[in-house]
Amino acid sequence: MSKSGDQVSEGEAPQPDAPAAAPQTLRWRSCPVIDDFPWSLLLVAAVAGVCVLAGIAFGGVGFALLSAALLGVSLARYFLPTQFELDAQGATVRLLGQARRVPWTRVRRVQRGARGVFLSPFERASRLDSFRGTFLRFAGNADEVVRFVESRMAAGS
């Protein structure tokens, strides 16, 4: 037993009534093609079907490859892993070496969905949300992410 009542030594379990301290930084990775595996097969089949149809309709393998490249680029967020990081200053989303940083001071609205949390710079829903907002996709850590975002918004930072 530790001498101080509020400290816990290495071998002891924390007190059940003690609130868990929020982490300073929360990091995770999400790859929807893996996370949503059974449904991902349908998307891969649809992409392959569109590419085959493009090749047949336009009479060449080049068109099939072009459609595969265009669909691959447009669906990169689904097929490639995305890194997320939340800290005291804001949220960072990294995909393909590109980082997008959203300071908490710019977040006006937080909207929780089944698959993630949407951070918007607008107080009300806007047509510009998909261009200006940031989606933090869960990866089995929904409670942690929501708790972190709520604590940052409550802190008013």
How far is Cα 20 from Cα 65, in angstroms, rounded to an integer?
Answer: 52
pLDDT at res. 42: 93
pLDDT reading at 71 higher than 80: yes
How far is Cα 129 from Cα 113, in angstroms, rounded to an integer?
Answer: 15
How far is Cα 136 from Cα 124, in angstroms, rounded to an integer?
Answer: 19
pLDDT digits (tens, 9 = 90+) for 1-45: 433 333 333 444 444 454 455 568 999 999 998 988 888 899 999
pLDDT digits (tens, 9 = 90+) for 85-103: 999 999 999 999 899 999 9
Average pLDDT over residues 101-109: 94
| Banded pLDDT at 154 (limits 50, 70, 90) | confident
